[in-house]
């Protein structure tokens, strides 16, 4: 059985911990490799390696750091199929979707290639007689990145390019469920010329995460995962004096007004509800259908679902398996809850016939109509291929439901009424809004992040906010002395 080691100082590293975790191929239901699970002491060694690599990288010119990013961009682009195959093998998402995930990560790499502009400071000439004030943007130091299972390449690539090009040393702790993508990325960075130790990958579970949260040398934590863990990360790392951005879970609603093109809305609901088996933080999991068009919309969605092929991600299917057997069982359990809460199961994914191994973690696309908003099917983040329909009387009731929810990651409105769309974008209390766009993930030069329980901290991922997070500003007040500046004066400096 292959064991995946940590990646430290530019080489595979075993660490001292004897603990390992199983990595599955979810389309087969079998263990494909094991991964090392670091101890607290191992994390200490990894952080020390990062701290040792930091000074030379921090002092490398912007041109040199950008040069590494340009080379990494070429490697990633040329070999993206290799990485996509790893994603499909360990996460289960279909190959075309894996390529889509990489494309969105590549965008951030390209954004980081032009980082000189975002690393600039300001300059104010002659603020007082012969005095100038200017700012420098300097790296934060050794930074920690902790990523979830559902985007094993894209989420690390939301943070690494910006943190690295800004001159930080990064310790990445990927999800132990699908850790190989992080190893691939670290090796590709090494090939691109990133000096050893500047990007270290430590594999592990809670013990490794806690060690990063508590380590005094780690100056910031970027986390993406479920809301309870995001809150925990935010509280513990903040209490330890670190900068923290902790992105959490979601329950994204799509509101379809009666004037919308119902065919396009049905296409969008199916794509955003079942892509990546619903294991996306920007998946649409609730469809708010206005009563007058709800029957038609549900029928159109069910019709499209009948054509979806579920199976092994390398066999040209539309949707793959779920990440683990336990998660598949948990998601399927919501269908029992739906039935006992009085909802209508219009399409039941439990009977799916997959194009894949019998022991894979399969659950087909599922559509549940008339879901009561008191049901756990509505209130929980299910994180699977279950689309709930809630019928509403109109715009006001739909928006009120979105606003009352605990999460605020993404939302979408489908309408041909510009006034309604404009009102929606202004008043809805959600961080990312789509207008006739079901998965409104911003491009790399804007920033990504939700509101409410979908983000703890005050900094979104990538874009300008990413650069603000991974740099600290220093203000310099300078005067080049000449004899006219002499004299003793104990008063607080005033400008004149």
Please report, as ranges, the residues that interact with ligand NAD according to CB under 6 A: 146-151, 155, 173, 175-176, 205-206, 209, 224-226, 229, 247-250, 281, 381, 383, 409, 450, 454
Buried b (16+ CB within 10 A) or exposed e, 119-158: beeeeeeeeeeebebeeebbbbbbbbbbbbbbbbbbbbbb
317 is catalytic: no
User: 94 or 155: whose CB is closer to ligand NAD?
Assistant: 155
Question: Minimum Å distance from CB 287 to ligand NAD?
Answer: 18
Question: Minimum Å distance from CB 237 to ligand NAD?
Answer: 11
User: 88 or 447: whose CB is closer to ligand NAD?
Assistant: 447
User: 109 or 247: whose CB is closer to ligand NAD?
Assistant: 247
Choice among 213, 281, 286, 371 that is catalytic: 281
Residue nearest to ligand NAD as judged by C-beta position = 225
CB–CB of 138/471 below 8 Å? yes
Instruction: Tally Cβ neighbours within 10 Å of residue 28.
Output: 18
**Which parts of 291-365 are beta strand (E)?**
344-347
Buried b (16+ CB within 10 A) or exposed e, 203-239: bbbeebbbbbbebebbbbbbbbbebebbebbbebbbe
Q: From CA 290, how far away is CA 396, in angstroms rounded?
A: 10
Tokens representing residue 290 in the block: 């206005």
Sign of CA dihedral 292, 295, 300, 301: positive
Instruction: Tally Cβ neighbours within 10 Å of residue 80.
Output: 18
User: 31 or 56: whose CB is closer to ligand NAD?
Assistant: 31
Q: From CA 33, how far away is CA 151, in angstroms rounded?
A: 19
Question: Minimum Å distance from CB 146 to ligand NAD?
Answer: 5
User: 260 or 286: whose CB is closer to ligand NAD?
Assistant: 286
Question: Minimum Å distance from CB 255 to ligand NAD?
Answer: 20
Question: Minimum Å distance from CB 457 to ligand NAD?
Answer: 12
For tokens 């943190």, name the residue.
163
Half-sphere CA count of 305, side-chain side, radius 13 A: 26
Active site residues: 281
């Amino acid at each position: 059985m292959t064991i995946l080691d940590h990646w430290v100082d530019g080489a595979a590293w075993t660490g001292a911990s004897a603990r390992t975790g199983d990595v599955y191929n979810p389309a087969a239901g079998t263990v494909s490799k094991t991964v090392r699970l670091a101890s607290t002491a191992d994390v200490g060694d990894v952080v020390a390696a990062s701290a040792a690599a930091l000074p030379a990288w921090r002092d490398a010119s912007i041109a040199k750091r950008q040069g590494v990013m340009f080379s990494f961009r070429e490697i990633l682009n040329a070999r993206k199929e290799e990485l996509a195959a790893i994603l499909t093998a360990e996460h289960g998402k279909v190959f075309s979707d894996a390529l889509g995930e990489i494309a969105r990560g590549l965008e951030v790499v390209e954004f980081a290639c032009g980082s000189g502009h975002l690393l600039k400071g300001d300059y104010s000439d002659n603020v007082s007689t012969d005095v100038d004030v200017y700012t420098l943007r300097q790296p934060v130091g050794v930074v920690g990145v902790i990523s979830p299972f559902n985007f094993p390449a894209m989420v690390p690539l939301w943070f690494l390019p910006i943190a690295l090009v800004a001159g930080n040393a990064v310790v990445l702790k990927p999800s132990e469920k699908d850790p190989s993508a992080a190893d691939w990325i670290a090796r590709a960075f090494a090939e691109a010329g990133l000096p050893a130790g500047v990007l270290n990958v430590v594999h592990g579970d809670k013990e490794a995460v806690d060690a990063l949260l508590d380590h005094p040398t780690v100056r910031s934590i970027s986390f993406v995962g479920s809301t309870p863990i995001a809150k925990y990360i935010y509280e513990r790392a903040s209490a330890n004096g670190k900068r923290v951005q902790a992105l959490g879970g979601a329950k994204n609603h799509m509101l379809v007004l009666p004037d919308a093109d119902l065919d396009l809305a049905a296409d969008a609901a199916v794509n955003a509800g079942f892509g990546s088996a619903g294991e996306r933080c920007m998946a649409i999991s609730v469809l708010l259908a206005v009563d007058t068009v709800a029957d038609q919309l549900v029928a159109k969605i069910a019709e499209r679902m009948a054509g979806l092929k579920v199976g092994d991600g390398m066999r040209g299917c539309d949707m793959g398996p779920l990440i683990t057997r336990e998660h598949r069982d948990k998601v399927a359990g919501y269908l029992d809850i739906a039935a006992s809460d009085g909802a209508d199961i219009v399409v039941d994914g439990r009977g799916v016939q997959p194009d894949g191994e019998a022991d894979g973690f399969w659950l087909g696309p599922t559509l549940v109509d008339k879901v009561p908003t008191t049901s756990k099917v509505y209130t929980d983040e299910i994180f699977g291929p279950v689309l709930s329909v809630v019928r509403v009387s109109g715009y006001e009731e739909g928006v009120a439901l979105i606003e009352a929810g605990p999460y605020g990651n993404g939302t979408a409105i489908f309408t041909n009424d510009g006034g309604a769309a404009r009102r929606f974008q202004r008043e809805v209390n959600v961080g990312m809004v789509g207008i006739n766009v079901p998965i409104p993930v911003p491009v790399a030069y804007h920033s990504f992040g939700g509101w409410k329980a979908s983000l703890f901290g005050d900094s979104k991922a990538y874009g300008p906010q990413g650069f603000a997070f991974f740099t600290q500003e220093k203000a310099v007040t300078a005067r080049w002395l000449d004899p006219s500046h002499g004299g003793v004066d104990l008063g607080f400096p005033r400008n004149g």
